[in-house]
Amino acid sequence: MQDLSFITEWIDSSLRALMPGWLTVTVECLLIGVGLLLVYALLALFYIYYERKVCAAFQCRLGPNRVGPWGLLQSFADMFKMLIKEIIHLNHIDRFLFALAPYLVIIASMLAFAVLPWGNGIQIINFNIGIFFLIAVSSIGVLGILLAGWSSNNKYTLIGSLRSGAQMVSYELSIGLSVITMVCLAGTMSVEGIVAEQQDLWFIFKGHIPAIIAFVIYMIAGTAETNRGPFDLPEAESELTAGYHTEYSGMHFGFFYLAEYLNLFIVSGVAALLFFGGWMPLHIPGWEAFNYIMDYIPSVVWFVGKAIVLSFIIIWFKWTFPRLRIDQLLALEWKYLLPINLVNLVLMVLIIVFNWHF
């Protein structure tokens, strides 16, 4: 595995030669911020394009193909259009909360984004309780959505945000429990540690049956967490126009749009981290030559590639299944996923205690 930290170390040492220590740290924090901002925006734009192309393929269409080669610049054009649209000032809203909601949604996804293991040596926030921190910050997003729906003072948005809140809060349990299942196997909560534990074999192979069950549950709950696919009833356009962001216009709406696609990336990135080794290349014990070749693919490519492949599954859900009703949605979580998850946790504990994992 190439260690990419030589880049940051080189920047660090050359900056330290130029300026005092505190200024170096400030400049480095600025660099991290700019980097995060760029990657965040570019990934969101890529995901909008990706989703539209995949959707078009499922529906036997071509998808965006006019702006730029293969329509690659379409989402840039869309974002620019959103920037030049008027932000309408409404006269019946709670102004402060209305303005605060997009901040909360974006901050939640940005913090979760910074925890992800981007590559060998480029992990930004590296708490020893990393995965717990990730769950904690991603639940701030629910607050943003609830505030958006409430402060808009519109019945559609209120119903949309309440549905969304009930849904995200319920499915967070499933996410938390499948994360606990994998933390049991890893024996650590730090993102770096979880990746390092998977050096010989990814967790989905190491933990076999319980890991696979946890993965399936995680993917279902992750789809619901991002308000997508068959679980998109918070923004069921046929009954609620657009759900919690009905009253938002222009770039204000754009933030919810960006955060939705980024959450898709974060959910699949966490799935890649917990089950498919984060940035760790595919290693098979005993196959030395194979492992050696796999190490030559850069770790960033591994991580982003895994996340993109996993988000293909989530997009696939969306264009395959019809939308659920709210009672079906809550019954699926509380009567099926939660009990299965609890049993699965016990199963995982048994497998670790009797050392049946690989």
Considering only residues 229 through 248, tell me which ones interact with another protein, judged by CB under 8 A: 241, 246-247
140-151 helix and 95-115 helix, angle to the nearest 10 degrees? 160
- Minimum distance of another protein from residue 59's CB (angstroms): 28
CB of 8 to another protein, least distance (A): 5
* CA 12 from centroid of its chain's CA atoms: 29
Report if residue 67 touches another protein, rule: CB under 8 A.
no
- We find the least distance from the C-beta atom of residue 327 to another protein, in angstroms, to be 3
Exactly one of 75, 154, 223, 227 binds another protein (CB under 8 A); that residue is 154
From the CB of 63, what's the least distance to another protein, in Å? 26
Q: Is the dihedral of CA 207, 228, 251, 52 positive or negative?
A: positive
User: Which stretch, 4-12, 64-72, 227-235, 281-289, contacts another protein (CB under 8 A)?
Assistant: 4-12
User: Residue 256 interacts with another protein (CB under 8 A)?
Assistant: no
Least separation in angstroms between residue 189's CB and another protein is 6
Tell me how crowded residue 258 is: count the other CB atoms within 10 A of its CB: 24
Closer to another protein by CB, 73 or 122: give it.
Answer: 122
Six-digit token string for 134: 């990730």
Among 62, 187, 237, 285, binds another protein (CB under 8 A): 187
Asked if 8 interacts with another protein (CB under 8 A), we say yes
CB of 275 to another protein, least distance (A): 16
Residue 346: is it exposed, middle or buried by C-beta count within 10 angstroms (0-12/13-18/19+)?
exposed
CB of residue 153 to another protein, shortest distance in Å: 5
Radius of gyration of the chain (CA): 21
Nearer to another protein, 70 or 200 (CB): 200
53 vs 154, beta carbon nearer another protein? 154
Interacting positions 29-48 with another protein (CB under 8 A)? 29, 31-33, 36-37, 40-41
Please, what is the minimum distance in Å from the beta carbon of residue 287 to another protein?
19
Q: Which of residues 81-140 bind another protein (CB under 8 A)?
A: 82-92, 102-103, 106-107, 109-111, 113-114, 120-127, 132-133
The residue within the footprint of another protein, chosen from 230, 254, 269, 281 (CB under 8 A), is 254
* Per CB under 8 A, 352 contacts another protein: yes
Q: Does 327 bind another protein (CB under 8 A)?
A: yes
- By beta-carbon proximity to another protein, the closer residue of 187 and 285 is 187
User: Dihedral of the CA atoms 305, 56, 112, 25 (nearest 10)?
Assistant: 70
Pick between residue 152 and residue 223 the one whose CB is nearest to another protein.
Answer: 152
Nearer to another protein, 54 or 90 (CB): 90
d(CA 199, CA 285): 10
Binding status of residue 188 toward another protein by CB under 8 A: yes
Q: Does residue number 180 form part of the binding site for another protein (CB under 8 A)?
A: yes
Residue selected from 50, 244, 255, 261 as contacting another protein according to rule CB under 8 A? 255
Per rule CB under 8 A, count of chain residues that contact another protein: 95
d(CA 317, CA 311): 10
